Chains A and B, each alone.
Chain A
Amino acid sequence: MAEIQSINHSAICVHDLQEAEDFYCGVLGARTASATDYITQDVIRGRSLHKSIVLEDYLIALMLARDFMPMPPSDQMRGAHGFRHGFYVPRARFDELMAALADHGVAYEGPVTHPEDGPFGQSIYLQDPSGNFLEFLWRRDEDLPYDPVEGIGEG
């Protein structure tokens, strides 16, 4: 049996790489870890155009979609649409995140309060600029020990 530890990273498609980087880094506070196809050598090798960003301890590769993707309506904030990324935010910083989104004019739904006997406290739901679903939540069990995952591909 494979000894899989956890999810390591995600690659998601976007329609505008600059816009996506501005959102993930400028609004959500991620940092750019690497970029591909911005140099001549990558062009010669036929590499795909993408940037890897790290949001806290999670690496997301923002891939430029070669074709337009059917995305959900812009006013739909909740859904799966193939997948949804949910990020944990300490409860103490949850209001701060909502304020940052509001400051940047990013629409979101919530906060939605989850059942008191479950691990999740509240969530907000939104789309990135390309329409990928995101969720941010605080956990009622946030005081339990947490084992962070090391990112890869930062070179």
Chain B
Amino acid sequence: MTAALDQQAAAGGLAIESIGALAVAVADPSAARDFYCRILGGVASGSDVLPECRSHELIRFPAGQMLALARAGNRPDLSETGVHQAYRATAGAAEAIAGRLQSGGIQIRRYREDREAEQGDRLYFFDPDGNRVQIVIRDAAVDGEGIYGIDHAAVQVPDMLWAGHFYGTVLGLEAESRFGLRTADHALARVWAAGEDDMAPGTRRLDKLYMTMGGQNEVPRTNMQVYYTVGEGVIGVYLATAHFQEPPEDQLAGVPRMILQAPRAALDIAAARLETEGRPYLGPVPHPASAPFSASLYFKDTGGNFFEICSPGGS
């Protein structure tokens, strides 16, 4: 494993295997756990299990990935941004989830997104805390009426070039697709502005030009987004269309957080890269045997989004 990792690290990759878990901010972890388990399925797996994750309830999914619903009192409204979490379900399970949403009086949104892989995935809703959830239809090893696992998650950043360096060079992730850089993307934005394409929040925007051009002072544009491959999923990185408050500079672990899974040696390589870049980090921190991970490295991306790389092991 170490030799293979050394080889991959030399090529820039960190051998990040998957999104191992997501930590999502909610007002009431117990109520959120009941909601997610009822709508999405999964197994409630205890309270305050993950280190550095505030007070939380943990749910495990059949794929082995976990969702931590962590208490956060002052969660910002991200409903109009690209920030969201997406879960995999078979077609049958997605239908069952839609049924449960309708029965519960929860509005189903049929947005479209730009990624080719998501053209058929138009099942969205907001959880009671305003977190946007997407269901993507994929084949799964286990069929049922709930989700199989986490497919992807998206964050917003204030600088796409800086983020590109961080995700591409520091984390060694490959850009799967980019949007907002082509004339064709802007043509699609005009269709959206005409009300003929129900696009997901964060994917389109109306710019007010700093000068009037041809009497037109609002221009629809496809907002810049880059998707980076992580195992079988992706991390979506969206350009923030408004300023947002980042966490304190010295806070290195927090919620919401994306928890990436990688071999133990990758944590040391990532720490060395962060050191070289002059970016602060915490760890690698060894965890007690009761924790689901053996060790974790905590840091933030260039947009202040919390990240953790963990190595499997523990309970």
Contacts and interface: CB of A to CB of B under 8 A. Distances in A.
The answer on A and B forming one complex is: yes
B181 A49 contact: yes
14 contacts: A17-B181, A18-B182, A39-B158, A39-B239, A40-B158, A43-B205, A46-B207, A46-B209, A46-B210, A49-B181, A64-B183, A66-B183, A67-B186, A67-B187
A38 B183 contact: no
Given A39-B159, A43-B241, A44-B242, A16 B181 contact: yes
B183 to A, nearest CB: 4
Contacts of B239: 38-40, 43
Given A18-B178, A46-B210, A40 B241 contact: yes
Interface residues of B, number: 26
B142 interface: no
Given A18-B178, A39-B239, A46-B209, 8 more contacts: A16-B184, A17-B182, A38-B161, A40-B239, A43-B207, A43-B239, A45-B210, A64-B182
- The secondary structure that dominates the B interface is mixed
Question: Which of B183, B187, B239, B243 neighbours the largest number of chain A CB atoms within 10 Å of its CB?
Answer: B183
The 5 closest A-B pairs by CB, nearest first: A46-B209, A40-B158, A17-B181, A15-B183, A38-B160
B214 to A, nearest CB: 11
A47 interface: yes
Interface residues of A, number: 21
A128 to B, nearest CB: 14
A66 B180 CA distance: 11
A66 B188 CA distance: 11
Contacts of A49: 180-181, 221
A40 B238 CA distance: 10
B246 to A, nearest CB: 12
B271 interface: no
B224 A38 contact: yes
Contact of B243 (A17, A40, A46, A65): A40
A18 B181 contact: yes
Contact of B159 (A16, A38, A45, A64): A38
B168 to A, nearest CB: 13
A66 B161 contact: no
A33 to B, nearest CB: 12
B240 interface: yes
